[in-house]
Amino acid sequence: MTEDDFLSRYDPSEFAPLALTVDIVLMGLREGRPTVLLLRRDAHPFQDRWALPGGFVAEREGLDEAAGRVLRDKARIESAHLEQLYTFGAPERDPRMRIVSVAYLALLNERAFGEALLGNPALLPATLEVPWAGEQGGPVSAVARGEALPLAFDHAAILAGAVLRLRGKLDYSPVGFAFLPAEFTLRQLQDVHEAISGRALNKPAFRRRMLDKGWIRPTGTREAGTSFRPAELFRFDPASKGD
């Protein structure tokens, strides 16, 4: 493909206006429900609709790097589990010009979620309502104060993709620990799994499964401040494998 290739390097499309952005699904768990952080758009297009935090990819910046920067700038979050989700590039997805967006998923534990809210008061937490609908997931809506928020661009599709990705990885990857602090009880871990999968789980079976997988290690300490029997604290053991 010599000449062919050579010529295509000078294809006009190369010089057509094109921008690259990253959009980030900032997800945490609130009251047992997956919750995302959204920003209201003040300008056209999609004025007054709600959008994922995002930003343009800089000239000498990698994609993961850009996502990390957006995380810092828009939510004051220094570190979080961050993974690429999918790339959206329909020509008309942004009416202004061709903007291709690489969507990322960031998972926040309770502390990071709270810090993000403090760091940027414009962020609105919205509960993800996922009609369990079949099994492969259906449309997702983001709800705040009892009302479904109108979303900008193709951001509803991005949210749906985020939920599917999480559900798919939950069982065979230790991704669920990203929602928890360093030390946690088995009940907390089970709550995470129930929130993401959207269904109740059996306690003894869950405990067996987690211990058998070898993902967690007991710390030897127990939680404090309960008025009943305190649960044992565990830590994620990255020495296992996966993800």
Q: Is 16 in the site for a copy of itself (CB under 8 A)?
A: yes
Q: Is 206 in the site for DNA (CB under 7 A)?
A: yes
Q: Is 241 in the site for DNA (CB under 7 A)?
A: no
Assign 196 to helix, strand or coil. Answer: helix
Among 97, 118, 122, 201, binds DNA (CB under 7 A): 201
Among 55, 185, 198, 243, binds DNA (CB under 7 A): 185
89 binds, among a copy of itself, DNA, none (CB under 5 to 8 A by kind): a copy of itself
Q: Is 118 in the site for a copy of itself (CB under 8 A)?
A: no
20 binds, among a copy of itself, DNA, none (CB under 5 to 8 A by kind): a copy of itself
CB neighbours (10 Å) of residue 233?
A: 19
When computed from its CA atoms, the radius of gyration of the chain, rounded to whole angstroms, is: 20
Region from 62-70, 98-106, 124-132, 203-211 binding DNA, contact rule CB under 7 A: 203-211
Q: Is 59 in the site for a copy of itself (CB under 8 A)?
A: yes
Of 12, 169, 206, the C-alpha closest to 83 is 169
Among 202, 219, 221, 240, binds DNA (CB under 7 A): 202
For residues 240 and 243, give the distance between their C-alpha atoms in angstroms, rounded to a whole number: 10
Query: Edge-to-edge strands of the sheet including 216-222?
Result: 183-184, 232-236, 216-222
Q: Which residues contact 155 (CB under 8 A, 6 or more apart)?
A: 23, 50, 51, 52
Among 30, 72, 111, 222, binds DNA (CB under 7 A): 222
Q: Is 31 in the site for a copy of itself (CB under 8 A)?
A: no
Cβ nearer to a copy of itself, comparing 158 with 233 = 158
For residues 91 and 99, give the distance between their C-alpha atoms in angstroms, rounded to a whole number: 8
147 binds, among DNA, a copy of itself, none (CB under 5 to 8 A by kind): none
Query: Which residue carries 């390097």 as its tokens?
Result: 9
Helix ranges (H only) for 76-176 are 110-119, 155-170
# chain residues binding a copy of itself, by CB under 8 A: 48
Query: Which residue carries 């995380």 as its tokens?
Result: 71
Cβ nearer to DNA, comparing 72 with 203 = 203
CB of 42 to a copy of itself, least distance (A): 4
For residues 69 and 234, give the distance between their C-alpha atoms in angstroms, rounded to a whole number: 31
Region from 27-35, 37-45, 143-151, 226-234 binding DNA, contact rule CB under 7 A: 226-234
Of 50, 72, 52, the C-alpha closest to 61 is 72
Binding region for DNA (CB under 7 A): 185-187, 201-209, 212, 222, 226-232
